[in-house]
């Protein structure tokens, strides 16, 4: 899968599946994230071995991982983490990280749209997002996409500075996610960027 995205300002981006050849470029992307953003990530993205293992999992179809590139530099990543146990085989966890310079330009929205199609192709019926309560802008974004609060678990996870944080779990049915994506596209000039 290889696709192009064109932002409202005309910037052309490429979207494709992540490969092991991307490891060094991906490490540059992750280590360039502000510490404030790294603080809330689920894994230590500065640990090359962990990052490499996650790419390998995607290559073995355990997960789907995409990268967005501008001039061969990674500026965003997206993942659909598929559940393989019987209880949750209809679920996929959605994850997005967009570089600060590319936020509020539609990159996350267009990446979410591509992940939607991949989720549908994989039989996903319900999308899940998990984040720390302090990630307000991330929560606001997924609310716009049709996700709703399901549960807040107090002091459930530890951030990178070793502080306990509340975990927020939000879900969205695929049909609601699509409806919100289409509504956002139709209400904006991103329609031409499909």
Domain at 2-193, CATH homologous superfamily: Gcn5-related N-acetyltransferase (GNAT) (3.40.630.30)
- Stated pTM of the model: 0.85
Q: Residue 118's CB: how many other CB atoms inside 10 A?
A: 17
pLDDT of residue 58: 82
Distance of alpha carbon 172 from alpha carbon 1, whole angstroms: 25
Q: What is the pLDDT of residue 188?
A: 58
pLDDT tens over the chain, length 194 residues: 568 888 888 889 999 999 999 999 999 999 999 988 888 888 888 899 999 998 888 887 778 999 999 999 999 999 999 888 888 888 999 999 999 999 888 898 888 888 988 998 888 999 999 999 998 888 888 888 888 878 999 999 999 889 999 999 999 888 877 777 676 666 555 444 44
- Three-state DSSP at 9 gives coil
| pLDDT recorded at residue 129 | 93
Furthest CA-CA distance within the chain: 44
Q: Residue 115 contacts by C-beta under 8 Å, 6 or more apart in sequence?
A: 64, 66, 78, 79, 80, 94, 96
Radius of gyration from C-alpha coordinates of the chain: 16
pLDDT of res. 37? 84
């Amino acid at each position: 899968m290889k696709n192009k995205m064109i932002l409202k300002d005309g910037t052309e981006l490429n979207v494709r599946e992540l490969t092991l050849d991307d490891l060094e470029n991906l490490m540059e992307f992750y280590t360039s994230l502000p510490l404030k953003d790294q603080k809330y990530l689920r894994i230590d993205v500065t640990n090359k071995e962990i990052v490499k293992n996650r790419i390998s999992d995607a290559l073995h179809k355990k997960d789907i991982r995409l990268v967005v590139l501008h001039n061969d530099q990674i500026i965003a990543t997206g993942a659909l983490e598929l559940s393989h146990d019987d209880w949750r085989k209809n679920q996929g966890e959605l994850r997005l990280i967009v570089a600060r310079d590319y936020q509020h330009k539609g990159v996350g929205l267009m990446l979410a749209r591509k992940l939607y199609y991949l989720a549908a192709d994989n039989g996903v019926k319900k999308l899940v997002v998990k984040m720390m309560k302090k990630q307000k802008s991330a929560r606001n974004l997924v609310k716009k996409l049709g996700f709703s609060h399901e549960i807040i678990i107090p002091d459930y996870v530890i951030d990178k500075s070793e502080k306990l944080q509340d975990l927020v779990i939000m879900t969205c049915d695929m049909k609601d996610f699509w409806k919100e994506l289409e509504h956002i596209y139709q209400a904006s000039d991103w329609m031409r960027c499909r």
